[in-house]
Structure 1
Amino acid sequence: AFKRDEVKVIFVLGGPGVGKGTQCANLVRDFNYVHLSAGDLLRAEQARPGSEFGELISTYIREGNIVPQEITIALLRNAMQEAVSQGRTKFLIDGFPRKMDQAVKFEDDVALSEFTLYFDCSEEIMLQRLLKRGETSGRSDDNIESIRKRFKTFIETSMPVVDYYRSLNKVIVVPCDKSQEEVYSLLKDKIRDRMDI
């Protein structure tokens, strides 16, 4: 297994539909991060033939609830291990930690985070973006009921995580009400300042 101090981890948080995936792809391209989306790992595990967790994950995702942290952390750790074995040690962990206890458990068991990127966006903008994505994504949770549930879950459970890291001065806030290009330009500057690159 990899050592805690040989990896660099940035948490990426923001409500559903803020464009985290798009901006993470830009960071991967320009800064050589490995992008791990907790949601994508869970969806892949759910679809994997013979997965012992598949049915459980399906139920949690459908209800808009948070999957038990042991499963998510195990999937993240496995994906990190694979990347480290290829010599890649800088990670963007997207859509995680979704709750305070996940943050604590990950930092205790896997690695400390350098900082958290928080994509800040109004509910109206997120709703528009998600409904548009739902027209083509085929994702079961891109419908108005699931979206509303996910907003509520995000505000109640994920904002305390953002506030906690903010209190440690470990949050970069990225306002998302501008175009993707403008958002990325701002984000890149903030990361360069923070990482001293």
Structure 2
Amino acid sequence: MIGRLSGIVSQKAPSLRYRLSLMMKPQVVFVLGGPGAGKGTQCSRIVEHYDYTHLSAGDLLREEQAREGSEYGKLIAGCIKEGSIVPVHITIKLLWKAMEETMKKDERKFHFLIDGFPRNEDNLQGWNSTMDEKALVKFVLFFDCNREVCIERCLERGKSSGRTDDNRDSLEKRIKTYLKSTRPIIELYEKLGKVHSVDASLGVEEVFTKVKAIFDKEG
């Protein structure tokens, strides 16, 4: 699978024109990890300390699902219930809309954490075909956490989150999807030297200390 994926990531020559054009593009960090790895918690910390805007693909999809009159609401609800991945064109449409709205409010806000995307090969292909000329992916921030820790965290979160997918049945499906579909994306970026991994099984403060070291270096 990695062999097929390797041709999907664009590797452009850094011409002067290209480098100058980056100043006009949103700068993106993909934030990936299994359910319960702490992506949302750490993204909130990053936003507090660095000039980034946090966009959660899952939150945007849940908001769209709940939006009255949404043409995608039922489809998104079904995907969430089954732990499957929402069609890429819907997710990218919501992400780009959120980025545009942020930059229209403040043109200096062009650094984004995109949490929970891309989740599979189709996501990555869709991003590159739609967004390659619009945004620059700086690196992937990978929160590595074992299965049981992830499940226990989500079950605890489910006591107050109100999320329909914070239950063991949905979690097992989501983790299976993550291992089958998302891990190969992370492995691809690792081969390209564009992944920063963090042991997410540690405590919140310990994890953020490691995250800060990454952002202090990468910006």
* Bin of the TM-score, shorter chain as denominator length: over 0.9
After superposing on structure 2, the runs of 4+ consecutive aligned residues of structure 1 that deviate more than 4 Å are none
> Which residue does the alignment assign to 1:143?
167
- Give the match's secondary structure for 2:196: strand
- Give the match's secondary structure for 1:6: coil
Structure 2 unaligned blocks of 5 or more: 1-20
Q: For 1:68 and 1:183, how far apart are their aligned partners in 2?
A: 32
1:74-132 deviation digits (Å, cap 9, x = unpaired): 00010011011122100000000001221232133222311000000011111111111
Aligned length: 193
- Give the match's secondary structure for 1:154: helix
Q: For 1:131 and 1:24, how far apart are their aligned partners in 2?
A: 20
Of the three residues 164, 189, 208, the one matched with 1:184 is 208
CA contact (8 A) 1:107 1:113 kept: no
> Which residue does the alignment assign to 1:193?
217
1:131-161 deviation digits (Å, cap 9, x = unpaired): 1111111111111100011110000000011
CA contact (8 A) 2:189 2:195 kept: yes
Q: For 1:99 and 1:157, how far apart are their aligned partners in 2?
A: 5
- Give the match's secondary structure for 2:164: coil
- Give the match's secondary structure for 1:174: strand
TM-score by length of 1: 0.94
Q: Which has the larger radius of gyration?
A: 2
> Which residue does the alignment assign to 2:5?
none
Is it true that 1:94 corresponds to 2:115 in the alignment? Answer: yes
TM-score by length of 2: 0.85
* 1:36-55 equivalence runs, <5 A: 36-55=55-74
Q: For 1:84 and 1:105, how far apart are their aligned partners in 2?
A: 22
* 1:68-147 equivalence runs, <5 A: 68-86=87-105, 87=107, 88-110=109-131, 111-147=135-171
User: Percent of aligned pairs with the same residue?
Assistant: 47
Structure 1 unaligned blocks of 5 or more: none
Q: For 1:66 and 1:177, how far apart are their aligned partners in 2?
A: 25
* AA of the residue aligned to 1:16: P
Q: For 1:104 and 1:164, how far apart are their aligned partners in 2?
A: 13
